[in-house]
Amino acid sequence: MIKELLGHAHIGVTATVYAHVRLRLQRDAIDTLSTALDGAVRDESTRDNLPLCGTTVH
């Protein structure tokens, strides 16, 4: 449906455009999570409350 609405001749064009957007959104989400976890680790009052498996996501 999206291919038709956008007027793309081939589904590959639509898939490429939307796959790129999806990957960018995933990267943004990972960066946001990493920032949040870094802030929690730096806060001395919460350092002891972090799970042992907590790690920074890069």
**Domain ranges in the chain?**
2-35
Closest CA to 19 of 41, 43, 38, 2: 2
**Rounded to the nearest 5 degrees, what angle is found at the Cα of 20, between the Cα atoms of 18 and 22?**
70
Give residue 9's pLDDT band: very low, low, confident or very high (50, 70, 90): very high
Is residue 30 within 8 A of residue 54, CB to CB? The reply is no
Q: Is the pLDDT of residue 45 over 80?
A: no
**Rounded to the nearest 5 degrees, what angle is found at the Cα of 29, between the Cα atoms of 23 and 35?**
135
pTM of the predicted model as reported, rounded to 2 decimal places: 0.41
Average pLDDT for 45-50: 55
